[in-house]
Amino acid sequence: MSLPQKVTVSEVGPRDGLQIEKTMLPAADKLRLIEALADAGLTRIEATGFVHPKVIPQFADASEVAEALPRRPSVRYAAFIPNRRGAERAVAAGVDDLKCGVAASDTFNRLNVRMDTATGMRSLEEIAEVAAGTPSRVVGVVATAFGCPYEGAVRFEEVDRLFTHLVGLGTDLIYLADTTGMADPSAVKDRVTRLAERHPDTRVGLHLHNTRGLGLANALAGLECGVTDFEGSIGGLGGCPFAPRAVGNICTEDFVHMCHRMGIETGLDLDRLLDAARLAQDLLGRNLPGMVLKAGPADALHDPEGTREKVD
């Protein structure tokens, strides 16, 4: 088993994590959470989404949040961008990375961004045009890359077609998104390996959800294929509003804990990540699904005479 020595984690909690939450956090609280994530060493943070507030009310304050982000030389802030207008607003607000993509499923793309896949591909070109000549860069995503709950299996050829389109727009990092948690380790290895062979100059990243309990298993499969770019959500927050029975992304601190136990560097402070997860819990007023948050790191020792509690 060959594993990378170091990986880069992109935190999507403030965007993907919050978009399905019923608790509407004020901009000040979102910024507190983002600052706590940056304090933990995260250098890529997806802070908001420039979408219509009628579709995702949580991001009605996108410009306010983006313009007030705690700027640090090492941190790149991203935002989800569905169209040209969103790109124009994001560039004006100083967003570093325009996260944009298209679903390999026509049905899902219509539900997610109100356009079919073909129209979505043209929209990607418009977003790239807006970013050209500005400090902002485009980071690509192929959504439903491992299956769609409405259309079923997604052919590799369709994923490769969309991936190739994003490569043609000058995107050097493209995430395969298991948007609705339909991937398994074998599928991850197959798609990552084939895309890496076809596009050796483009980094293949993974955006995974834990819908069916396979999130970290799929991440490990990616690590075994040499993937070094992963997305996670603090505390395991998240879920797509257009995915049936949606469950959050792989938990950032759980993934980091696993990497550290396996000798893989992340550049992140696990204790500070756990502080950020606790803050997210407090802000939302509910327990989050992250397991290290509940049980503590595996190297934490306990008093044999102490109280033993069940982890819920």
Q: What percent of the chain has pLDDT over 90?
A: 79
Find, among 222, 18, 7, 187, the residue nearest to 104 by Cα: 187
Average pLDDT, the chain: 93
**Residue 224 phi, psi dihedral angles, 5° rounding:** -65, -20
194-250 confidence digits (pLDDT tens): 999 999 999 999 999 999 999 999 999 999 999 999 999 999 998 777 777 778 899
Q: Is 80 exceeded by the pLDDT of residue 114?
A: no
pLDDT band at 106, cuts 50/70/90? confident
The residues annotated with a catalytic role in the active site are: 240
The CATH code belonging to domain 8-295 is: 3.20.20.70
- The ranges assigned to domains in the chain are 8-295
32-65 confidence digits (pLDDT tens): 999 999 999 999 999 999 998 888 899 999 999 9
Instruction: Answer for the pair 112, 143: CB distance below 8 angstroms, yes or no.
Output: yes
C-alpha distance from residue 226 to each of 7, 189, 219, 230, 280 (Å): 9, 10, 11, 11, 31
